[in-house]
Structure 1
Amino acid sequence: MTRTAKSVSIAATVVTALSLTSCGGSGGDQAAADAKQTLTVWAMGEEATRLQTLAKEFTGEHPNITVKVTPVGWDVVHQKLVSGAAAGTLPDMAQMGSTMMGEFIELDTLEPVDDKAFKKDDFFPATWDGNVVDGKAYGVPWYADARALYYRTDLAEKAGFDKAPATWKDLRDLAAAYKNKGGAEWGLDLQPGSTGAWQGWVPFLYATGGELLGEDGKPALDSPETVRALAEFGHYFDAGLAKKNFVPGHDVLKDFAADRVPMFQSGPWMVQNIAEQQPQLDGKWKVAPLPADKSSTSWVGGSSLVTFKDSEHKAAAQEFTTFLTTAKTQAKWYEISKTLPANKAAWDEPALKAGGESLAVFRKSLDTAKEIPPMATWNEFSVQIEDALEKVARGADPAATAKKLQQSTEGLVG
């Protein structure tokens, strides 16, 4: 995609601050990789705690480099990064969520990835492409997540189905059968609007062959594919198969276990959550690829490792990034965190090969997943999608809604 012409208002403020503080410069004198030094890293929540284990292993191999990992909550990391960029107090490296990349690329705070040290072909395409603007990558994929369909097999059998839905028609039929024959209150969990609702709809869009942005970098949300995706999303609410009201903090696993909502989309972490929180469901559920229209296509999330332009320890940062993204370390990270490796070779490691049927589904999803384009205005862009989804869930015409969605997003990207 092309670099966006407009940034969010907070980004504009930071750009001004950067020009005043000379942030985003060369980073001063660079320490050699073998020099004695401290590498500062920001990581998020529990992942920061787990990363300490790998940092100690890295330090054992590189005794001259002390790795200082600082935990930052996901709820405050954006503001801390923006403030750090403005004040010139960013760390050497950070974990950065996939939908945050565009903003910080736009702010010119990230060091471009050395394409001699890191190869695109080593990673799942969408994990790499989500970090690329104007042909340059600004982050190295660390871990990934994709979406799949969780469904209750016992209730499906009760409703007369003995296999997972493979197509949109199959999904409609199973959702209706769950409600009409299987005793469920609803057929499918879909968030009708509010923050995060885009996550459940984008797979519908990608399944049609649609895109969020066209090849020209401009919104492509008035396309026939968008209309079809909105209509399919709206069907579940029109048919009474999904709840029209959304309660923040809703725990889908409780509804899943209580037979109220027997299907939902989610990521790989739910496999362990179901096993730990709802053990009585053992043998009564499975994970399947997202049902297909033209294709079965998830969006890819996760985190990448970025180095900031002001760092004076870029060589050490590259060493640590290399260590964290090797196949063996990625497999070890999976064992520690249960997050999916972004390095394709890691899936040949024993820990991943022994992962079972559910893990194989997510591996397949990563092969076909597509990135969320790295745009500086993603937060505003996604809000417009969520507003459109809320309207469609309440009965608005998909074609008219798509037209308005296109108009409301055109001013957000160049």
Structure 2
Amino acid sequence: MNKHLVTKAVAIVATVGLGITLAGCSSGGATGGAAAVDSADYTGPKVTIDFWNGWTGGAAPKIVPALIEKFNAEHENIEVKNVAMEWADIAAKMPLAIKAGKGPDVAVAHGDDVATYAAQGLLLDSGDIVDTLGYGEDDFPEGLFEGNQYQGTQYGIPWSVTPLGLYTNNDVLKAAGVDTTAPTDAASYEENLAALKAAGVQGEWVDGYVFTGTFEFESLVWQFGGDLFNDDVTKATFNSEAGVKALTHMVDQIDKGYSPANVPQDGNFNALVAGETAYNWNGVWQTTNEALQDVDFSVAPVPQIGTEKAVWSSSTDWIFPNNKGQDTNETSAAATFVKWMNDNSAGWAETGELPAANDVRNDPALVEKYPNLEPFLEQLPYAHYETVAPGISAATAEITTAVGEAVLGKKSPQDALDDAAAQADKILEQNAQTYGG
């Protein structure tokens, strides 16, 4: 499994238990204090700020320290210390560190973690920070800025986005006599999969893991007009008619012989690299995977199987921890660092993530330098991001359970989704008690 995927997958598992971990150091559901930042350019005395992040694999360990080194060279009164650790370790360590006043001055979290941290009073209200830095919802992809809000308060600033795309092994298609033009809808996708099967190739390997079966399922739910939860995130809705259609589509790939049964973790991506399959729904992060560099591959938007265009995407977001005794100068310096990093985030594309800042991401030079990013950029207008609610990771983990049970033939799509939704509803009820309304 790709190291980048390992750290993110483990983080998802860790955050499933985050509500329990945080409940032990809860501040009664109170939100963090406000952060005073007078200027986008910190002019106070020299300070050292700690930056926690989970980029330990792929190209990020080269890019992030290089950006920090450049920032430090340009700011005599700010020294940023890069503290990289596994995402799961951040989830485990940061709450207690913040309560003890030993947490970072700035950190990066996934979009579905921000509300959980905020509900526990672990984050500073960053409303004044975003105002001082000049940020608003129009500076980022639609829905991403407000995705950093909890109970009407801004707690985060978008940093990167990572949508799914359709990866294609062109050699496999050519050998099977199938057009290498990417399928765009259910009909063209079915036609190509049938042609591949006739040539002895199982064209898309479907798995039951977070990476990437869950993400494919969620994309399909939205494509069929459904959603994962109701508007106030008190009830699971992924077992709706749209959810059943989505999961049935995935199971059908196995039943029709387009996919083998019991695909192991990352088996679909490895099969694409090995020339054993033609298509793989996977994230933008794979564009920089060294395993693909000797493969004649291309990427395209995921096909529209349902009635609407939709695709899953994750995000990473800047957060300002509410450390006990947090130094206001360090918070101000951290805000300057965040603004600088966003302004200089074009190189972030080299790590397989898209800059969230519209003015950086939409610069034509970005696609000229990284042409494989174009299909992912094309999908952002209809991308769906993580559900925003405290403790949501435990509820979304039930989606993976349902997908796994269905694709392994243990339960029908309807039964798997109904059972998972019932468990998710219990978790959502418990979340309401743990984190408050």
Q: Residue in 2 aligned with 1:244?
A: 261
Q: Which AA in structure 2 matches 1:232?
A: H
Distance 1:144 1:8, change over 3 A: closer
SS in 2 for 1:130: helix
Measured after TM superposition, the shift of residue 324 of structure 1 is 1.2
Q: 1:231 is matched with which residue: 248, 254, 257?
A: 248
Distance 1:333 1:403, change over 3 A: closer
Distance 1:166 1:194, change over 3 A: closer
Alignment of 1:344-359 (within 5 A): 344-349=358-363, 351-355=365-369, 357-359=371-373
SS in 2 for 1:365: helix
Measured after TM superposition, the shift of residue 149 of structure 1 is 0.3
Distance 1:145 1:74, change over 3 A: same
Q: Residue in 2 aligned with 1:17?
A: 25
SS in 1 for 2:73: helix
Measured after TM superposition, the shift of residue 100 of structure 1 is 2.4
Q: Residue in 1 aligned with 2:415?
A: 400
Alignment of 1:261 with 2:273, yes or no, is no
- State the alpha-carbon separation in 1 of the partners of residues 149 and 277 from structure 2: 38
Measured after TM superposition, the shift of residue 361 of structure 1 is 0.4
Q: Residue in 2 aligned with 1:177?
A: 195
Q: 1:38 is matched with which residue: 44, 48, 55?
A: 48
Measured after TM superposition, the shift of residue 94 of structure 1 is 0.6
Q: Deviations over 1:74-107 (max 9, x none)?
A: 3422212233245442111111123322321222
- State the alpha-carbon separation in 2 of the partners of residues 123 and 334 from structure 1: 16
Alignment of 1:165 with 2:165, yes or no, is no
Distance 1:394 1:350, change over 3 A: closer
- State the alpha-carbon separation in 1 of the partners of residues 171 and 163 from structure 2: 25
Q: 1:411 is matched with which residue: 411, 426, 433?
A: 426
Alignment of 1:72-151 (within 5 A): 72-114=85-127, 115-116=130-131, 117=133, 118-151=135-168
- State the alpha-carbon separation in 2 of the partners of residues 195 and 87 from structure 1: 35
Sequence identity, in percent?
Answer: 22
Distance 1:29 1:223, change over 3 A: closer
Distance 1:278 1:39, change over 3 A: closer
Alignment of 1:55 with 2:73, yes or no, is no
Measured after TM superposition, the shift of residue 24 of structure 1 is 5.2
Q: Residue in 2 aligned with 1:325?
A: 342
Measured after TM superposition, the shift of residue 338 of structure 1 is 4.0
Q: Which AA in structure 2 matches 1:102?
A: A
Q: 1:297 is matched with which residue: 263, 286, 310?
A: 310
Distance 1:87 1:48, change over 3 A: farther
Tell whether the 8 Å contact from 1:194 to 1:386 is kept in structure 2 after alignment.
Answer: yes
Distance 1:175 1:99, change over 3 A: farther
Count of residue pairs brought into register by the alignment: 397
Tell whether the 8 Å contact from 2:166 to 2:280 is kept in structure 1 after alignment.
Answer: yes
Measured after TM superposition, the shift of residue 59 of structure 1 is 2.6
Q: Which AA in structure 1 matches 2:72?
A: T
Tell whether the 8 Å contact from 1:30 to 1:314 is kept in structure 2 after alignment.
Answer: no
Measured after TM superposition, the shift of residue 10 of structure 1 is 4.8
Measured after TM superposition, the shift of residue 213 of structure 1 is 1.6
Measured after TM superposition, the shift of residue 364 of structure 1 is 0.7
- State the alpha-carbon separation in 1 of the partners of residues 359 and 35 from structure 2: 33
Give the alignment's TM-score, normalised by structure 1: 0.86
Distance 1:203 1:245, change over 3 A: same
Measured after TM superposition, the shift of residue 371 of structure 1 is 0.9
Tell whether the 8 Å contact from 2:178 to 2:196 is kept in structure 1 after alignment.
Answer: no
Distance 1:410 1:338, change over 3 A: closer
Give ranges in structure 1 of 5+ residues lacking alignment. Answer: 1-6
Measured after TM superposition, the shift of residue 255 of structure 1 is 1.6
- State the alpha-carbon separation in 1 of the partners of residues 371 and 80 from structure 2: 37
Q: Residue in 1 aligned with 2:288?
A: 272
Distance 1:13 1:62, change over 3 A: same
Tell whether the 8 Å contact from 2:169 to 2:279 is kept in structure 1 after alignment.
Answer: yes
Tell whether the 8 Å contact from 1:152 to 1:286 is kept in structure 2 after alignment.
Answer: yes
Q: 1:364 is matched with which residue: 371, 378, 382?
A: 378
Measured after TM superposition, the shift of residue 381 of structure 1 is 1.6
Alignment of 1:286 with 2:302, yes or no, is no
Q: Deviations over 1:266-320 (max 9, x none)?
A: 12232232xx4344433xx321111112223222213111111223222111111
Give the alignment's TM-score, normalised by structure 2: 0.81
- State the alpha-carbon separation in 1 of the partners of residues 263 and 95 from structure 2: 31
After alignment, is 47-56 or 231-240 more displaced?
A: 47-56
Measured after TM superposition, the shift of residue 346 of structure 1 is 0.9
- State the alpha-carbon separation in 2 of the partners of residues 187 and 33 from structure 1: 58
